[in-house]
Amino acid sequence: MEGGYWMIRTIRSGKVIEKSQFYVGRRKPRQERRKGASSAKKLDANLRDAVKRLARTINCNWSHGDLLLTLTYDEENIGKVGEDFDAAEREGGRWWKRMRRELKARGVKLRGVWMTSNTDPETGELVRLHHHAVISTEGIEIERGEHGEILGARIGERTLADIWGNGTADVKPLREQDDYTAIAAYFVAQARRDRPDAKKWHASRGLKQPVIESEKIVARARELHTPPGATVLEIGKYEEGSGSHYVRYIRKPRPPKVGGHKERVIDADGTEVRRE
C-alpha cells in the first residue's frame, strides 16, 4: 500500500510485550503517547481479537501457582442444563456467586475469569456443556501430594467440588511461564460458535489491565523486530500489501545495578558524610 500512515502500538501485559503495525489512513492522525491502564475493550477496538484480549487479561493478573479449573456436570445434574447453553451460563453464574460469597466471608475478593463451553477445541463439534476458569489461590487451601500435584482444594470446610455442586471440579496449577496465550486460545476455541459476537468469557471486576506503552505514527511500513536478547513468542507474517505486522516477546531482563547506592554516614564529630 503506497501513501498514508501506519500506527505502531506497543502493549504490555505482565511481562509480555506486543507490537502491532496497522494502517490508519492517508491523513496523519494527531501524534499521541499514552501510559497507564486502558480497558482491553478500548485497547482492541481495531484488532477485535478475542484470544489476544483474554491472554492479556490472564498475563496481567495470574501466574504460576494460580488455578486452572474445569467444571463438569455428572449424570445427576446434567438435566439442569441439558444442551441449553444459556441455562449453563446461568448455572455457571450461580457457581461464581457462591465462590465469591465463600471467599468474601474470609475477607478475600474473588479474582478470576470463567467461561461456558460446548465445543471441542480440535474438531469444532458440539460436546457436553462444561465450564473453565482461571482463579487466584488467595483464600483457597491447597492439598498437595508427594510430588507437588494438587490432591484437593477447599475454602474453609468446603471443597471446590462441593461449592460447584454439579459434578466434578478438576483443579490444576498454572504452569510456570510468562505468557498464557495458549490457555486463552484453548478457552476461546471452546466458546459457542452459533453466536460469534456473544461474550465469550466473564471476568471479575477490578482486574489489572494491559498498558499501552506507546503509539507511534510512521509514514512508511516496515517489518517489526524484537529487541536484542528478547525471548520471541510470536512473529506474524508481514503483509506487504497492507503493511500490517505483529510480534510478541518478553524483554531481556535488566541486570541488577551494581554500586551507585548512597549511604548516609555520620562522622565521629557528627558531620554527615555522603559516600557512593
Q: Inform me whether the pLDDT recorded for 159 exceeds 90.
A: yes
Q: Inform me whether the pLDDT recorded for 275 exceeds 70.
A: no
* Radius of gyration over every alpha carbon of the chain, rounded to an integer in angstroms: 24
Question: What does the pLDDT look like over 96-116, one tens digit per residue?
Answer: 999 999 999 999 999 999 999
Question: What does the pLDDT look like over 221-258, one tens digit per residue?
Answer: 999 999 999 999 999 999 999 999 999 999 998 877 76
| Vertex 86: Cα angle to 40 and 153 (nearest 5) | 70
Q: Inform me whether the pLDDT recorded for 34 exceeds 90.
A: no
pLDDT reported for residue 268: 41
Least confident of 122-131, 146-155, 257-266: 257-266
> What's this model's pTM, rounded to 2 decimal places?
0.84
For the segment 130-147, the average pLDDT, to the nearest whole number, is: 94
Return the C-alpha torsion angle 135, 136, 142, 146, nearest 10: 90
Question: What does the pLDDT look like over 174-189, one tens digit per residue?
Answer: 999 999 999 999 999 9
Strand pairing partners for 10? 19, 214
pLDDT reported for residue 148: 80
For the segment 157-184, the average pLDDT, to the nearest whole number, is: 96
* DSSP code per residue over the chain: --SSEEEEEEEEETTEEEEEEEEEESSPPPP----SB--HHHHTTTT--HHHHHHHHHHHH--TTSEEEEEE--TTTGGGTTT-HHHHHHHHHHHHHHHHHHHHTTT----EEEEEEEE-TTT--EEEEEEEEEE--TT-EEEE-TTS-EEEEEETTEEHHHHH-SS-EEEEEPPS-S--HHHHHHHHHTS-SSSTTS---EE-TT----EEEEEEEESS-----PPTT-EEEEEPPP-TTT--EEEEEEPPPPPPP-S---EEEE-TTS-EEEE-
For residue 101, CA distances in Å to 106, 163, 169, 198 come to 9, 10, 18, 27
Phi (first) and psi of residue 9, to 5 degrees: -110, 135
Q: Inform me whether the pLDDT recorded for 77 exceeds 80.
A: yes
Please enumerate in sequence order all residues whose Cβ is within 8 A of that of 213, keeping only pairs 6 or more positions apart, or say none: 10, 11, 12, 17, 35
Closest CA to 65 of 183, 187, 176, 159: 176
Amino acid identity at 248: R
pLDDT reported for residue 209: 95
pLDDT reported for residue 259: 61
pLDDT reported for residue 28: 80
Map grid coordinates 506497543 to a residue. 10
For residue 117, CA distances in Å to 92, 120, 193 come to 11, 8, 10
